[in-house]
Structures are given as C-alpha cells and as structure tokens.
C-alpha cells in the first residue's frame, strides 16, 4: 500500500490520557471482543458481564506520551488512511457525511463511551462519533492473529469508519437474524455491513492516478492482505483457536467466510448498494 504523510488533521492524539470508567458493550471493537472471549474461556469467568455500562466519571490524569520513529510512522499511516476513507465517503454521501477523527491512546482512555483499555482494541463510539485506537493493536493483529501488512491495518480502520457511516445513515441497528446468523444475528449483520463498507473504500483506493499527500493508493497484493485480515478475525476461527470448537450462538462479528465475502463484495463492486442488509 502506497501512502504519504498528511498534516494529521484526522488524528486526535490522546496518548497521554488515562481514565477509569468501563466501556459500554456497544463500544467494544474487534480486538476487545476477541481478547475478552479468550480470557473468559481461559479463566472460566464471564468478563463480558463487566461491560454493562459506565458508572460515572473518575479522576483522569495527563502524562507524557513516549513514542518511537516506528510509532510515529504508524500514526502518519493511520492519519493518511482516515483521511482517504473520509474523502471517499464524502464523495459518496455528499453533505450527509460528517467528518470525524481517530483518537489515539496508550493503555487506557476515558472515552465518551466509557473507559477503554488496550484490550478493548479499535472501536467506534457512537456517543461522540469518533474512532478509538490503541497504537499497539497492530502488533497484535500481526503477531497474534496472523494478519500483517499496511492494508490489513487499513482494513481495520476502514471497518470502524464503516460504523460511523452506519451511524450517520441510521443503519447501526441489526435488521435481520436467523439460524444462519446465530443468536446475535443483528450484531453480526451490522459488523458484516461495516466489512462491506471497508471494501467499498478499498475499491476507491485501488483506482490508479489518485495518489496525493495524505492519501492512499493500493498496490498489487494489498487486496489479499485485507482478505487475510478478514479471515483471521472470523468468530469461528477465533473460537476454534481458543476453545477447540465452534459455537454459532456466540457469534458477534461473523465467520471468516462471511467476513471475507462481505469485504470482497464491497471491494469488487465499489457500490454501497451491495452492502445492504
């Protein structure tokens, strides 16, 4: 994936903040759902029950935000992807699109959806319309989930912006469920649509001759990176890895095959209508 740094206008740097409220269940991102699932099974404790909603603010503190050249490069990449994704949706939706920012944090942050920590992973908060990202998540995506590469990271960012589009269009509630979707069919449908929206952006980014400062242009092999990332974080694969069996009634984001199909549908068509649920 080819990208160049912009002016970081799509970033809100909160790497020095910390806070103390629990994040609401609806704010959990990909990484948080996966890690909570793993820890719940490993400890025999239902950690999801802890995410019943925030219980008031507590003291927050400001501290230094240590960084490294590698992390600064990652931040520039996140800014470039966020800017490109938003430019794409602004062209598609026109005045209906409202620009927002990616809030970067270290370890924990007191977000508008409650307290989030590194285990929460990337998530979209509908209360303030912002995407939240711990800068260490991409290492986990590579090492733990086997999905390396810039475009794999970009897919995750574009997926969270897909939730922003859903919020703006009133599509952030599930519209169907059934045996094939599992007990959490509404949640799965919402997540798969966000995957499809990520693919719609990928299609736009794959068009040649669009490259400029602060933007992204895909290279050969990038689409495969995105598909590998979608497959790596399917509910069935993660359940098999952590428990040795697959439990469809506990699906929240969709199977690997469903996530790959949703992303591919958006990527190959570039048509938002192909993402209708």
What pLDDT digit, counting tens, does each position of 157-173 carry?
999 999 999 999 998 76
Please name the residues in contact with 73: beta carbons below 8 A apart, sequence gap of 6 or more: none
Q: Which residue has the higher pLDDT, 177 or 8?
A: 8
Confidence of residue 93 (pLDDT cuts 50, 70, 90): very high
Nearest to 132 by CA among 146, 118, 140, 122: 122
- Mean pLDDT over 180-185 rounds to 52
Quick one: which H or E segment has residue 11? Answer: strand 11-13
pLDDT tier at 214, thresholds 50, 70, 90:
low
**What pLDDT digit, counting tens, does each position of 6-19 carry?**
899 999 999 876 54
pLDDT at 60: 40
Token representation of residue 93: 């939706």
The C-alpha angle with vertex 146 and arms to 177 and 135, in degrees rounded to 5, equals 90
For residues 130 and 98, the answer to whether their CB atoms sit within 8 Å is no
**Structural domain of 149:** 2-44+53-275
DSSP 163: H
Q: Is the confidence at residue 174, as pLDDT, over 60?
A: no
Mean pLDDT of the chain: 78
Domain count, the chain: 1
pLDDT value for 183: 47
Q: Answer yes or no: is pLDDT of 256 > 80.
A: yes
| DSSP-H helix ranges across 55-103 | 69-93
Q: What is the pTM of this model?
A: 0.78
């Amino acid at each position: 994936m080819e990208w160049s740094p912009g002016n970081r206008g799509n970033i809100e740097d909160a790497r020095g903040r910390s806070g103390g409220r629990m994040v609401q269940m609806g704010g959990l991102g990909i990484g948080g759902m996966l890690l909570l699932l793993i820890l719940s099974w490993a400890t025999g404790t239902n950690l999801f029950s802890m995410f019943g909603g925030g219980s008031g603010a507590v003291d927050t503190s400001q501290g230094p935000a240590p960084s490294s050249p590698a992390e600064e490069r990652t931040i520039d990449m996140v800014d470039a992807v966020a800017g490109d994704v938003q430019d794409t949706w602004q062209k598609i939706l026109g005045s209906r699109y409202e620009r927002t920012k990616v809030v970067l944090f270290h370890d924990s942050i007191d977000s508008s959806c409650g307290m989030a920590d590194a285990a929460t992973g990337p998530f979209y908060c509908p209360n303030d319309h912002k995407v939240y990202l711990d800068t260490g998540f991409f290492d986990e995506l590579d090492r733990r989930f086997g999905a390396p590469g810039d475009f794999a990271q970009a897919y995750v960012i574009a997926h969270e912006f897909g939730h922003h589009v859903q919020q703006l269009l009133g599509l952030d509630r599930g519209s169907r469920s059934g045996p094939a979707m599992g007990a959490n069919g509404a949640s799965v449908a919402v997540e798969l649509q966000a995957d499809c929206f990520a693919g719609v952006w990928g299609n736009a980014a794959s068009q040649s001759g669009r490259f400029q400062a602060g933007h992204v242009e895909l290279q050969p092999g990038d689409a495969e990176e995105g598909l590998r990332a979608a497959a790596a974080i399917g509910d069935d694969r993660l359940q098999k890895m952590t428990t040795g069996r697959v439990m469809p009634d506990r699906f929240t984001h969709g199977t690997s095959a469903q996530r790959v199909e949703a992303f591919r549908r958006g990527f190959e068509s570039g048509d938002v209508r192909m993402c209708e649920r």
